[in-house]
Structure 1
Amino acid sequence: MTEINIKDFGGKNDGVFDNTNSFKAAFEELAKNGGGKLIVEEGTWLTGPIDLISDSTLELKEGAELSFVTDPNAYPPAFTRWEGVECYAMHALIRSADAKNVKITGRGTINGNGNAWWELKKAKKEAGQTRPVEPYELALAKMNPGYENQAGGGGGRETQFLRPSLIEFINCQGVVLEGVSIKNSPFWTVHPLYVDDLTLQNLKIENPYSAPNTDGIDVDSCTNVKILNCYVAVGDDGICLKSGSGPDGIRVNKPTVNVTIKDCTVRFAHGGIVLGSETAAGIQHVHAENCDLSGTDRGIRIKSRRGRGGDLYDIELKDLVMDDTLCPIAMNMYYKCGVTDQKSPLFSLEKQPVTSETPRIHDVKIIGCTGKNCKASAGFIVGLPEMPIDNLEIRDCHFTTDESSDRSPMESDMFYGLPEVSVKSFRVRNAPGAKFENVRIDGPKETFIYE
């Protein structure tokens, strides 16, 4: 294997010199040799976007830090999927497209310097910006005709300030990301899209809890995925599985299939292990085991709504610890984010017509899970009246609510349209086949509320 060093291409590790062209030249050299390894030694390596090629390895030695510039103009438009819809967005900080056998490894750090991006997003919101203004926003708007009517999850599509993911693999086969620490992402942190044979292992991913839309891992329409021994502490969902949103995701029709999540820890996130809310092509054959999701808002989180579509089934979640959450299990078909009209038919309590955009959740097993000090409720299971959650089995679980907490049961997840409840019970609505076996709930006056 060809092995080269970034220093051989004019790279400097002083945290001031811009190494963008050095990384570009290094990977061009590897491409001439049919691939190989690029070594980055100790020091701070300031850079703009990096593109990885087939049959290549980026190795960050201990003490090495990739530090990314924060000028939006440095990240030109690149094809991707942004909050469930195919479009052009800012080029990811590290990106690999249409490649095979790509690896990022080592004991170094990848720093997205997200604070500048988060502050810019905040400033745009406070200024009341509702349309593209800056040249980089106008360029994306021109490439994304009809963006005004595209679905979003709250990231800001209307302004076309489509922040970059930190690491994105798109249309790749055989991807390994292991060992490195990743922090301060501008937007989603690790975003594999249309990837087959993916391993994410021994990662440490950290973003502040207050940082907007900084999901840890977003596996998006991927197959044959392993997520092993990762630590994730972020400002949105932790380990999340997606498959596109609404009509566009249905058109693409690429489900997420065959996912194993084991021995992971998630902290602070809105959800620990999450499916959705972009569910259009379906999510199937998921096994999660032996993870600690304590301190998250919701430990297990499955979320969708009318209009998002998708068939979610064969999901087994086993031996998960979920202490100090708002709600340990939330399965929510009335998910509200991205919608401002609370009276929309999306949130009607009456049956609506079943269409290709009606999501379905069935054949889910939750086994051997525990949760102490649940602040909002012991559980939240809410299906649609026209598409109830079917064949749900929860067994050998024990949950304890914190009756001294002032957090409302209505904070169990983010929804519109559901009637008020005041007891921190396990809420079950439109899930008539739900089977509870050896499930102990301590704390609330009523253990279950069936609606």
Structure 2
Amino acid sequence: MNLKHVMVYALAGVMLAAAGCRAGAAVTSSDSELPFTLPTIPRPSIPDRSVSVADFGGTGDGHTLSTRAFADAIESLARQGGGRVVVPEGVWYTGPIVLKDNIELHLEQNAVIVFSDDKSLYPLVETTFEGLDTWRCQSPLSARGVKNVAITGHGVIDGNGDAWRAVKYDKLNPRQWKEKISSGGVLSDDGKTWYPSESYKFGATSGADQNVSTWARTVEDFERMHDFLRPVMVSIHHCENVLLEDVTFQNSPCWNIHPAMCTNLIVNNITVRCPDYAQNSDGIDVESCRNVSVTNSHFDVGDDGICIKSGKDQAGRDRGIPCENILVDNCIVFHGHGGFVVGSEMSGGVRNVKVSNCVFSGTDVGLRFKSTRGRGGVVENIHIENITMNNILQEPLLFDLFYGGKSASEARAEGPEAEPSDLEAKPVDETTPAFRDIHIRNVWCRGANRAMYFNGLPEMNVEHVTVENTQIYARTGAQINESSDVVLHNVKVIPEEGPALLLNNVKDFTAEGFECPAGLNPALVVTGSRNRGIAVHSAQIGTANASLSKSAAGCVAINEQSK
């Protein structure tokens, strides 16, 4: 752990003490501590009684299926009003576990739950995935419509995900690829993707919007692609007073943890792991939830680490449940597509979010906000501070309203981006997404491809964004397209090549105390015909090393009083 990480943890300790985010306590806040009111988040109320899964015939020998023992232990407590189901040390092999009201699943030290790879144990159920109501295989661990539910302890929950997931050839080394082929399964027609079964291959090649079938209508249609409909490992939907604490969750078939439409969610001191080649292996996807605290946790996955969602397109707008009142503090994300992510399914809106004292290392993007035309929804009142990043493969800060369904690295690998231009504006309606009122400060990043990328819609700019006290070392500079009311205050961008600041169709933009290397020529580039009110104050940027389009020349003030 380097000195900067130690400093971040020290800051996190101060923040946690102020916010009351400690194990064994409810999460509280006041208007003076957060930029919005976060109501007290209560821990689940679990009755003081317990049973061991071993008392109901379960065996922690790593071989005997203990599905019935888990179900009987939970049912026994549920009849008494709830309590703690204790999982002793050992390897507990099981099918799906379903939690009920007032139940805590507690893993003792050296306890491991491994879910069976027998896919027949996971029937299709109606659920929500990628923001849409659909059918998928039953989750290995789930709770639905219950109150006071917890998963705690110092053990490991393993989803046996390698038996479920397809893998692309270019994600593995030659030895791993050879092992995959020899394990069974089938290859794609071009030989570049391994599928676990014919059922999976059928689902993947028969037409899908991401991972949700676009043509299936009946249960029989979905059953034909049963194996393709990989389950989320931990699915907690429509629940109240939820706690996830101290446990390690790993090797999920798909998303690791998916709380949706929940109220009062505390996630503290958990670890979430998946191989970096695992597709759709998001760490935690918090969807349409109210009053959420995610603290002191580590994520090392193959997709987004900490992700905030609220439904997709018309379905999300009809649901109309925003994700709101969220605190994320003292978390680390390794690898994956994004450290802290909003979207792309955000059609119900996201608001009142505080992210602080986090480390992102080796992720594609650090702070990733993504959406596209057709989503609708508003993302607003987001406050981010004290973020340390290292070895970010693409951008530390990304706002993209032209998201195309791929990771930032996958999109870049497909070819160079088009040069900024005057794109045609579309009519604004309920399907137009919006990012606004976002405030970022105290960010450090060493090693990135591009310092920042703001990519708004011509009809709905990314607007009212402030970035202050930030230092970024990257291959290329900050690029800001179709954005309004953006303020960079005491921002330092050190590019290895090209200009430090590229603006295209920005309005009411201010860079105050902007720093970049001396001698860049150009250091500032402004393109597009819809620029207005640009003011740049920098000791390293002057009129001599600025490249302005003809239409922009009259609206750019460099080291002058803003107009």
TM-score by length of 1: 0.87
Match of 2:343 among 276, 285, 294: 276
Task: Indicate the residue corresponding to 1:95 in structure 2.
Answer: 142
Question: Secondary structure, in 3 states, of the residue corresponding to 1:215?
Answer: coil
Match runs of 1:342-421 below 5 Å: 349-374=423-448, 376-401=449-474, 403=475
Q: Tell me, which stretches of 5 or more residues in structure 1 are unaligned? A: 141-147, 404-423
Matches within 5 A, 1:4-403: 4-119=51-166, 126-127=188-189, 152-154=209-211, 159=225, 161-326=228-393, 327-337=395-405, 349-374=423-448, 376-401=449-474, 403=475
Give deviations 1:304-337, integer Å, cap 9, x for gaps: 0001111000001111011110211111111111
> Which residue is equivalent to 2:484?
432
SS at match of 1:286: strand
**1:8-27, Cα deviation, whole Å (9 max, x unpaired):** 11000111100111111111
Deviation at 1:154, TM superposition (A): 4.9
- Counterpart contact for 1:2–1:33, Cα < 8 Å: no
Alpha-carbon deviations, 1:254-305, whole Å to 9, x = none? 1100100000000001000000010100000010000001211111000000
Deviation readout 1:33-69 (Å, 9 max, x if unpaired): 1111100000000001000011011000010000001
Greater relative contact order: 1 or 2 (C-alpha under 8 angstroms, separation 6 or more)?
1
User: Offset of 1:245 from its aligned partner?
Assistant: 0.6
CA distance in 1, matches of 2:280, 2:213: 10
> Any idea what the Cα deviations from partners look like across 1:340-382, whole Å, max 9, x if unmatched?
9x9xxxx9931112121110000000111110111x1011111
Cα deviations by residue, 1:199-227 (Å, 9 ceiling, x for unpaired)? 01000111011100000010011010000
In 1, Cα distance between equivalents of 2:319 and 2:472: 39
Instruction: Give SS of 1:104's match.
Output: strand
**Alpha-carbon separation, structure 1, partners of 2:99 and 2:479:** 47
Distance in 2 (alpha carbons) for counterparts of 1:125 and 1:248: 34
Query: Structure 2: any 5+ residue segments left out of the alignment?
Result: 1-47, 170-184, 216-224, 416-420, 505-563
Taking the aligned partners of 1:149 and 1:208, their CA distance within structure 2 comes to 26
Residue 125 of structure 1 deviates from its aligned partner by 7.0
Q: Whole-Å Cα distance in 2 between the matches of residues 149 and 255 of structure 1?
A: 29
Q: Is the contact made by 1:298 and 1:329 (CA closer than 8 Å) also made in structure 2?
A: yes
Q: Secondary structure at the match of 1:432?
A: strand
Matches of 1:381 and 1:156, distance apart in 2:
31
Measure how far apart 1:137 and its partner are: 11
Letter in 1 for 2:74: F
2:164 match: secondary structure: helix
The secondary structure found in structure 2 opposite 1:351 is coil
CA pair 113-172 structure 1, distance change in 2 beyond 3 A: same
Larger of the two Rg values belongs to structure? 2
Once the two structures are TM-superposed, the CA of residue 31 in structure 1 deviates from its matched residue by 1.2
Letter in 2 for 1:337: G
Counterparts of 1:338 and 1:367 in 2: how far apart (Å)?
28
8 A Cα contact 2:207 2:213, kept in partner: no
Query: Structure 1 residues 431 and 120, CA, compared in 2 at 3 Å: closer, same or farther?
Result: closer
Give the total of aligned pairs. Answer: 414
The 8 Å contact of residues 99 and 172 in structure 1, kept in 2 or not, is answered as yes
Q: Shift of residue 136 of structure 1?
A: 9.8
Structure-2 change in CA distance of 1:338 and 1:289 (3 Å) = closer
- 1:113, distance to aligned residue in structure 2 (A): 1.1
Give the distance between the partners of 1:181 and 1:222, measured in 2 at CA.
22
AA in 2 matched with 1:366: I
Root-mean-square deviation (Å): 2.6
Q: Which amino acid aligns with 1:285?
A: N
1:209 partner letter:
D
Q: Decide whether the 8 Å contact of 2:101 with 2:149 is kept in 1.
A: yes
Deviation at 1:87, TM superposition (A): 1.6
Q: Which amino acid aligns with 1:11?
A: G
2:321 counterpart letter in structure 1: K
State the TM-score, normalized to the length of structure 2.
0.70
Residue pair 1:155, 1:213 contacting (<8 A) in 2 also: no
How far off its partner does 1:119 sit?
4.0
1:120: Cα distance to partner? 7.9
Give the equivalent residue in structure 1 for 2:530: none
The superposition leaves residues 409-428 of structure 1 with CA deviations (integer Å, 9 ceiling, x where unpaired) of xxxxxxxxxxxxxxx11010
Give the distance between the partners of 2:375 and 2:247, measured in 1 at CA: 34
CA distance in 2, matches of 1:242, 1:277: 7
Identity across matched positions, percent: 34
Counterpart in 2 of 1:420?
none
Deviations along 1:86-109, one digit per CA (max 9) or x if unpaired, are: 122111110000100000100000
Give the distance between the partners of 2:450 and 2:122, measured in 1 at CA.
43
User: Which residue matches 1:448?
Assistant: 501
SS at match of 1:335: coil
Q: Distance in 2 between matches of 1:72 and 1:355?
A: 43
Is 1:72–1:136's contact at 8 Å kept on the other side of the alignment? no
8 A Cα contact 1:371 1:399, kept in partner: yes
Distance of 1:197 and 1:397 partners within structure 2: 33
Letter aligned with residue 363 of structure 2: T
